[in-house]
Structure 1
Amino acid sequence: MKKTYALALALALGSVLLCGAVSASELAVRWERLRAEQPRLTARDAASNLGVSEAELLATGIGQGVTRLREGELVPREIMRRALDLGPVLALTRNDYGVIERTGVATRLKAQEQVTGLDADKEQEREARLRNIAGGYLGGPIDLRFTFRNWKHAFAVAQPGKDGVISRSLQFFDGQGNAVHKLYVKSEAGTAVFDQMVAEFRHPQQQAPLQITAAPVRAPERPDSAIDVQEYRLAWQDMNDVHQFNRLLGEFGVSREQAMRLAPAGAARAIAPQAVRQLLEQAAQQQVEIMAFLGNEGTIQIYSGKIGKVQEAGGWFNVLDPQFNLHLRDNAFRSAYVIRRAGVTSVDFYDQHGDLVVSFFGVREPGKPQPQSWLDLTAALPQAPGTAGQASLQASR
């Protein structure tokens, strides 16, 4: 009986695999049908609806405006380095519950002087940092931070948009087929560069199957009782730069959201998750300059400046300015904190899995205190339900 069941199961699985091998055309038909039914559906949501990754969905268009680009450890960095020649672009980065879009021209790094005399550890750290620098994108309108080891698949797309005009973009995906970054060409002059890049980086095997991997199993959060909370809090208070925070998380083995719960008294105030609306509305109304950080495992994109138009639409809360858009599905936010680290106040918003969706800081000049307008804005954000008794953060003057 067991052998018969095993044979039947093996035949069924074989049938599934055979169907999968010839499913690209069928997937394309299903996607076209879905787009006709829900024309406003994003590619990411369409892929989820159809039970595939976004990269697999995009690959159904290979040969019809979609070109697969070469893969390899250093290739994504080189593509992004060449993309500096595109001129004005729209840079789009997203995660499950947030999207950030910025239009502008990416800045280039100045030539770096030769560095010598570093010890082995410092040299290894420097090499790792350089692997994630693509010759620019640090500061300026297109402000990006890369983790290129998580960039696995790339495509060049030249297809008509809803207005019939050809839209050209470079689209990058991780090993699971999730989008890590997209760049859209925004000038006629960029078209020739885009075409050259397609020819230069074209994958030699356009129809080869994508190697999509399963998402890694999420490691369980360590219990609070396993953390040396006293030492952790002392280390928090010893920070003199907010960039030391990630190292602190690794040193004590805490998740980012757990770090908020275990923070020293007055260092992390729990606020209502939907307070993001008040934060953005007040920043727009008072013209407070903000920094917004939003990203995924492959890319973090940063916006710095004032915002104007904010509104809710279709289950998202949005900033809709000419050169900057931010879209947040804030009904999926589970927790949020106003945080004080190394004398800097910021605000984090987390989803139901405890993953960071978006962070906000106040813009300040180097060596100067944080603007009081930013401190007042964050101090006014409402407490999380059931935390009214917590000590509030003290805004620095």
Structure 2
Amino acid sequence: MGQTTSPSAETIRAARIEHANLRERDLADKLGITEAQLLAAHTGQGVTHIAPHPDTIIEIASSLGEVMALTRNISCVNEKVGSYGNYTSGAHAAMVLNDKIDLRMFPIHWCHAFMVEKETDAGVRRSLQVFDAAGDAVHKIFMRGETHLAAWDAAKFASALPDQPTQLDLAERTAPEAAKTNREKLDVLQSEWSKMTDTHQFMRLTSKLRMNRLGAYRIVGAPFVRPLATDAIDRMLNDVQAAGIEVMVFVGNRGCIQIHTGPIETLKPMGPWQNVMDPGFNLHLRLDHVAEVYAVDKPTQRGKAVSVEAFGADGALIFQVFGVRREDYDSRPAWREIVDNLPALELETAV
């Protein structure tokens, strides 16, 4: 997707005025462009290009006090309120880790970034927005109030890039990787799975066997993976709410993974969406996008890590939920009970 396929900046700005009530993502879809192209068309009109590396973005975010962090994929949105303290940089992966904001960031996919000032009925809404090479959103950070406005203004002045284009050259969007399965290595997969001592070893194992996450889940079988009915996702969220336990909810894309650790208190279904609407944490999940669900059991040195993981029809991971264990709290027994009682996938049999 290059700039020759995009409408002119003038056309995009006119469409923004005409469809003022549409969200940016919906307007971009309507115009056949990406969110990054929509923002670039407003360069100099509330939009400023800045360096897209996490080092730059998180340095600015950490000066803005309490903010709202948003990470999404096409089917799920994770929104957390907190501050960007305790940042660790890295060439291949960076991290923010504190009691509210918990992120894993992959700089290779942080390709375009903007400081955005948008007029709304409630006043100017300020945000940092990061996009990948195809112009799809990776991570967004929204200011709350104007207490740190001086820090925002200083960062915008110091961080603006010399080049401020109104159009972007973008890469073609890469389709999610389909399930990769290697049945010839099933015995090795099962044997090595049973020997894992850390969940992070899983991706190295599947890569070594020329599989991926979904491909391995489809074939490894009991006692490691149990296919679940697609409606198990909604039941799981309701059961976690009813039990009052804390869980870890992972939502991500190629460039960022955002993690909520805590309870699920308020569920508000709306059409195809199931929504968590809690103070400091919102989750928006398209239940109709869920095509495959698995209960997954991985051994670790701290005990078994049990997760429920949902995938879209294209094979993309939508989100994952785990139990929580820390020094003063362990939700894993209650979480295991919830997972064990989720409905299994009913496989069709030939007659």
TM-score (norm 2): 0.90
Q: Which of 40, 44, 52 is the matching residue for 2:25?
A: 44
Query: 1:209: how far off?
Result: 3.2
RMSD: 2.4
Counterpart check, 1:331 vs 2:288: yes
Partner of 1:377: 338
Could you tell me how far 1:50 is from its partner in structure 2?
1.5
Q: Label 1:45 to 1:283 Cα distance change in 2 as closer, same or farther (>3 A).
A: same
Distance 1:28 1:309, change over 3 A: same
Q: Which whole-Å deviations, capped at 9, do the CAs of 1:331-361 have from their partners, x for residues lacking one?
A: 0110001110012111100000111000000
Which AA in structure 2 matches 1:85? S
Measured in 2, the distance between the counterparts of 1:217 and 1:306 equals: 33
Native 8 Å contact 1:132 1:146 kept in 2: yes
1:77 aligns with 2:55: yes
Check the 8 A contact 1:146/1:298 in 2, yes or no: yes
Amino acid at match of 1:62: T
Q: Which amino acid aligns with 2:318?
A: V
Select the residue among 206, 215, 218 that pairs with 1:261. 218
Q: Residues of 2 paired with 1:68 and 1:81: CA distance?
A: 16
CA gap 1:318/1:250 in 2 versus in 1, 3 angstroms? same
Is 1:184 the counterpart of 2:142 in the alignment? yes
- Larger deviation, residues 140-149 vs 270-279: 270-279
Q: Which residue pairs with 2:118 in the alignment?
A: 159
**Amino acid across the alignment from 2:202:** F
State the partner residue of 1:214. Answer: 172
- Quickly say closer, same or farther: Cα 1:340–1:317, change in 2 above 3 A: same
Distance (whole Å) between structure 2 residues aligned to residue 285 and residue 371 of structure 1: 15
The whole-number CA distance in structure 1 between the counterparts of 2:289 and 2:7 is 36
For 2:125 and 2:155, how far apart are their aligned partners in 1?
Answer: 15
Tell whether the 8 Å contact from 2:177 to 2:316 is kept in structure 1 after alignment.
no
Asked if the contact 2:113/2:131 (under 8 Å) is kept, the reply is yes
Q: Which amino acid aligns with 1:67?
A: T
Distance in 2 separating the partners of 1:211 and 1:90: 29
Change (3 A) 1:160 1:275: same
- Displacement of 1:220 in angstroms is 5.5
Unpaired runs of 5+ in structure 2? none
Aligned partner of 1:200 in structure 2 is 158
Counterparts of 1:70 and 1:345, CA distance in 2: 39
Aligned-pair CA distance for 1:379: 1.1
- Describe the shift of the 1:101–1:68 C-alpha distance in structure 2 as closer, same or farther (beyond 3 A): same
The separation in 2 between residues aligned to 1:222 and 1:183, in whole angstroms, is: 34
Report the Cα offset of residue 368 of structure 1: 8.3
Secondary structure at the counterpart of residue 87 of structure 1: coil
Give the total of aligned pairs: 343
If the length of structure 1 is used for normalisation, what is the TM-score? 0.80
Shift of 1:76: 3.4
Is structure 2 residue 49 aligned with structure 1 residue 68?
yes
Out of 29, 37, 41, the position equivalent to 1:56 is 37
Name whichever of 316-325 and 305-314 sits farther off: 305-314
Structure 1 residue 369 displacement after superposition = 6.6
Q: What is the deviation of 1:314?
A: 3.7
Which position in structure 2 is the counterpart of 1:144?
103
**Selected match of 2:307 from 336, 339, 346:** 346
What residue is the counterpart of 2:323 in the other structure?
362
Asked whether the 8 Å contact 2:182–2:210 carries over to 1, the reply is no
Tell me the CA shift for residue 77 of structure 1: 2.0
Q: Residues 363-383 of structure 1: CA distance to partner in whole angstroms, max 9, x if unpaired?
A: 112598753211111111111
* 1:29 equivalent in alignment to 2:7: no
Shift of 1:287: 0.5
Task: Give the drift of 1:176.
Answer: 0.2
Q: Which residue of 2 aligns with 1:97?
A: 75
Residues 221 and 323 (structure 1 numbering): CA distance in 2 closer, same or farther, change over 3 Å?
Answer: closer
Q: Does the CA contact (< 8 Å) of 2:324 and 2:330 recur in 1?
A: no
Structure number with the higher strand fraction is 2
Identity of aligned residues (%): 32
Residues 293 and 358 in structure 1, CA contact (< 8 A), matched pair in contact too? yes
Cα deviation, residue 21, structure 1: 7.4
Give, in whole Å, the separation in 1 of the partners of 2:338 and 2:178: 35
